[in-house]
Amino acid sequence: MLKQPDPTLHKTTRPEITSLFGEAKLVLDETPKAISPFGGLASFISFLGQIGFARQVQQHLPFAEPTSNNAIPLAHSLTAFLMSVVVGAQRFAHCEWLRADRVLHALLGLERFPSDDTIRNFFLRFSQGHIEAFWRPLWRWLLRLLQCPTDGFALDLDSTVFCREGTQEGARKGFNPRRKGRNSHHPLLAVLAEAPFILHGWLRSGNTGAARGVVPFLREALALLPEGTWLRTVRADSGFFDGTFLDFLEERALPYVVVARLTSTLKRKCAGIQEWTPIDEHHAAGEFTVKLFGWSKERRFVVVRERVRETKAAVGRLLIDVPGYTFRVWVTNRSQGVLELWRDYNGRACVEQRIEELKHDLAADGFCLQPFFATESAFLAVLFTFNLLSLYQHQTTPDQPYRQPGTLRVAVFLCGAVLGVLGRDVVVKLSAAWGGLRKHKPLVEATLNWLKRPSPKLIPPEDRLAIGGGMI
């Protein structure tokens, strides 16, 4: 008798697994439905549409669009990069993650998502002139959407180190506390503390000192500030203790408090202070004026002395002439008391937190290309992404505390979603288990309504009617 074929051999076999805890059998299958792990980006993308992001990018692009019918518009490449950074990309290659996310493509209105090579080629177009022509106007536009505190912003200056693995332009051996002897870049940043908002950023060679170029850098940063936005103080660490820098701040009538490097002259002045005002049982305050070598005038120095304790590491420098105490010294043109200045300067610690967020949450040091200005443009794109996320929070959840980008990614943007159709409408179905509409509808509604809020500083009158363009 002819043996009949086994019908199961013609069926597609699906793998089975056993649950980790328990003995339940689970069958693995696939679905043709478009699914996204980042459905929560809907409110952020809605926000970008409300502020006219697409129009601004297209308006200021300094390049002609590719003429090929198959070419992807340049604004799409930049947007794809920003979205990749938001969801956690740390290298250009990671931008490929989103090429399969058709839900996100629908939210953005993109028929094709650029490849990582296309995104690299976008940044490879940039020269120094292109950076000035493109990024500076975008910064000014976004700053006009930022509300200035009643007493103004504190502007914090700081630098950091981006380690490099190759021989990229500008990568040099310099100060590198973690990986000594490695090539690096040495970015300079100016941060509006209260927003928070990255006012300005420069990528520099790795062998550049902290304060090198700070005067032209700050001049450019101040030029970005719109009318009605002002600074209540400038704060910087000892790397910026430079007479030329202080002269510039005073010429601009900018209040400042800068950590002083303890030269031999300043050590003697600290040791010679006779009147100390107690702050608490461990701290006391003093001050003096002195004209240092090369300076044109005397300046005020304020000092906080801390008692050395076995149970706590004291902050500051030890002086041989005054055992048992550490000293912290600042130079300032502000008239407030030492205690107020001390407390205000301690708020500068936020700039170090912002730098950590840029590195660890948004991988600001991870997008490196061979040409220097291509790398700098990608660096600026990450800073711009940070600012967009910060402003998004201000407008959607103004009553909630600031959340760093990594927290925002997990708490808001990470939400399973399925792409569907209802009649003629394309529908993005957010997972109820991830919060669904209960969580995300208020955020979307906030992005649609925030322009109606009666706050003249949020957006200039001349721009209110112009805004309304959709996303790309």
Domain boundaries, the chain: 35-60+73-125+397-451
- DSSP alpha helices (H): ranges in 35-115? 41-50, 53-60, 74-87, 102-108
**Amino acid, single-letter form, for residue 280:** D
Q: Could you tell me which residues are beta bridge partners of residue 283? A: 306
CA distance 218 to 248: 9
pLDDT per residue, tens digit, the chain (472 aa), is 445 555 554 456 788 888 888 888 888 888 899 999 999 999 999 999 999 999 999 999 999 998 888 899 999 999 999 999 999 999 999 999 999 999 999 999 998 999 999 999 999 999 999 999 999 999 999 999 999 999 999 999 999 999 898 788 988 886 666 667 688 999 999 999 999 999 999 999 988 888 889 999 999 999 999 998 999 999 999 999 999 999 999 999 999 999 999 999 999 999 999 999 998 888 999 999 999 999 989 999 999 998 887 655 556 666 655 778 889 999 999 999 999 999 999 999 899 999 999 999 999 999 999 999 999 999 999 999 999 999 999 989 988 999 999 999 999 999 999 998 888 888 999 999 999 999 999 999 988 876 655 443 443 333 433 323 333 3
pLDDT at 115: 96
Name the residue type at position 313. A
In this predicted structure, what is the pLDDT of residue 454? 44
Q: CA-based angle 62:380:42, to the nearest 5?
A: 90
Distance separating alpha carbons of residues 387 and 380, to the nearest angstrom: 11
* Cβ-based neighbour number of residue 410 at 10 Å: 12
pLDDT of residue 280: 87
pLDDT the model gives residue 10: 47
- CA separation for the pair 430, 42 (Å, rounded): 10
Q: Which two tokens stand for residue 212?
A: 């090198």
Determine the pLDDT at residue 459: 38
Q: CA–CA separation, 285 vs 169, rounded Å?
A: 47
Residue 467 is predicted with a pLDDT of 29
Residue by residue, DSSP assigns 207-271 as T--TTTTHHHHHHHHHHHPPTT--EEEEEE-GGG--HHHHHHHHHTT--EEEEPP--HHHHHHHH
Query: Would you state the pLDDT for residue 293?
Result: 92
pLDDT value of residue 210: 81
Cα-Cα-Cα-Cα dihedral sign, residues 400, 405, 409, 413:
positive
Q: Which amino acid is at 159?
A: S
pLDDT value, residue 324: 82
Tokens standing for 215?
């005067």
Record the pTM: 0.89
